[in-house]
Amino acid sequence: MTVAEAVAEALERIARLDPGLSAFIEVWAEEALTSETDPGLPLAGVPFAVKGPSGIRAYAARRLIAAGAVPVGSTAVPGPGTYWQTWGLGAHGRTVNPWRADRTPGGSSAGAAVAVAAGMVGLATGSDGAGSVRIPAAWCGVFGLKTTNGLLPSPDRTGLASGGVLTRTAAEARAYLRCVLDGYAEVPVPLPVRARWSADLGFARTDPEVAAVARGAVDRLAAAGVVRLEERPFALLNPGDAWQAIRGGEPGTGSAVRAENNRRLDALFADTDLLLTPATPNRPHGHDGPGETYSTALTWAFNLSGHPAASIPAGFTGDGCPVGLQLVAARGADSALLEMAVAAERHAVSVVCGAGGGGGGTPAACAEAGPDAEAFTLRTSFPPPTSSHVGRRGVNKPRTRD
């Protein structure tokens, strides 16, 4: 496929699907179709999307463009007046989850996850300050990576946010790291890797079915020889107040919790390669808000500590909601984490989608057909995506931060 054909195919899919999904704020069709790309560059002609209105100016986007990739548009993020961040507002209204249109895709990299899940682009940039890449990756059934804090330039002065990427599979994220990290090299990871599991990190109120789906994925990894699971409990102190204090400009308020959690994580990774948890304690909530649940409960500890973390698809709850399995590795071990995710993704999911299992057995394979296809009807029939506009109407009391 030529550069022009690849870009044209992505734009056609966006034009066809985005009115129902509202993953994009803007689509740069003319610029993308007329872009001139050196065919010798490593990502020559690869269409990608950037997070939010300012995403094109981000460090990762500039590095991808320098490698020959073609930006086709900016993806939806929470709109003005939104008091909670696991939501998105695109050009056609609220951003909907492509697996269940009555649910949110998560956020704040909402449109990025939807664009990848629906096959509109194969790669989208994101940023993760409390779970903003991992939460939508989990809820849309795709791969999401948060890099080690400080590894990539970030405009976030608190140091909580780091760059990230969303792709259909972990293997497809190699191209991102190869282009944004100087001196990147794939790291061979001997299997099985030493792993620990926690359903709640000692404090989260994890939905039992979400925990069961994620634990089922872990058991499949152990059975396949990907991980050697040590059945010792692992717990952290609840990082919520510390995270909010730092975000609010009062880092001293949560310093004791942060220091103790860092001590526990340093001790963990002294003899463990991988920490495994559900990516979120809850399944995707409706478009009226999260209520009293913090979707960030299992993610923001690693924004405080700086560890790289990823979400891979783990399966589905009985009502057809994707569940993510979070993988956390030692600081700076981004390349090794990605390779562990590649190995894990082959065995983590056990799902048949579409009539007769025609979806290929994984959320990424099901997503190839798009949300307008039968592949997105799993165990129950759900209403098709709509373009109803939420706008700035009132929402529930804010309880989720992302």
Residues with a catalytic annotation lie at: 51, 108, 132
Neighbours of 23 (CB within 10 A): 34
Three-state secondary structure call for residue 195:
strand
**Distance of alpha carbon 229 from alpha carbon 315, whole angstroms:** 20
**Distance of alpha carbon 350 from alpha carbon 46, whole angstroms:** 30
- Reduce the secondary structure of 285-330 to three states and give it as a string: CECCCCCCCCCCCCCCHHHHHCCCEEEEEEEECCCCCEEEEEEECC
Q: What's the DSSP call for residue 225?
A: T
Selection from 368, 286, 288 nearest residue 321 by Cα: 286
Selection from 238, 78, 249 nearest residue 159 by Cα: 249
**Distance of alpha carbon 126 from alpha carbon 123, whole angstroms:** 10
CB 204 within 8 A of CB 172: no
H-helix segments, 91-247: 110-117, 134-140, 174-180, 208-223, 240-247
**Distance of alpha carbon 361 from alpha carbon 351, whole angstroms:** 5
